[in-house]
Amino acid sequence: MSVEADLTQAPGAERMVAACLQQFGHVRVLVNAAGGFKNRLSTWLIPEEDWDAVLNSNLKTTFLCCRAVLPTMIERKQGRIINVSSGAARVVTHLTASHYASAKAGVLALTRHLAYEVGSYGITVNAVAPGVTLTARIDRLYDADQKRELATKVPLGRLGLPEDQVGPILFLASEGAEYVTGITVDVAGGRYMI
């Protein structure tokens, strides 16, 4: 099932959760994976509207989706929330963009706070922090030489692939992670060892 919704606005997130509840009766897992940024700009060159758009698409969407789904998870006393952040939120190893790093750092703070807040309801809240992952956005932001240079800084010798994120997310969504909450799993080939 798919639901088209503007997740930067509360009605969109609420409509998405309502559609899932109608179709499935409950929501056990929420993965917040919206976000990104268009341009790598120095902080002093970022237009205010770009700053707002990046914080909205990365941080506000995570907040609104969590807020929309938590009442049903609290009622059922179970749930898994996995927020996709970024290595950019953890360390600066190369320049991405300050608005993106700030938004993704906010996702990590929200993750920890929510984990503490809803743990007594049997809900876990965790995050993954991908390193540079070969997506269409990365192809647009970095040329071939820059990607090769970034790969030389990864102990496993390559940039990430989208499928590299799947296993850690599935683990955090599983019963095997029942006693894991408030953490961030760095999925970056060893590039970020925090």
Which residues form the catalytic set?
A: 100
50: phi then psi, degrees, rounded to nearest 5: -70, -45
Task: Return the half-sphere exposure (C-beta side, CA atoms, 13 A cut-off) of residue 121.
Answer: 21
187: tokens are 């999925």
> Apex CA 60: angle with CA 59 and CA 61, to 5°?
95
Going by C-alpha positions, the residue among 34, 28, 23, 26 that lies closest to residue 1 is 23
Residue 163's alpha-carbon distances to 81, 167, 169, in angstroms, are: 19, 8, 10
Report d(CA 10, CA 76) in Å as an integer: 22
Q: Which amino acid is at 4?
A: E
83: tokens are 């927020």
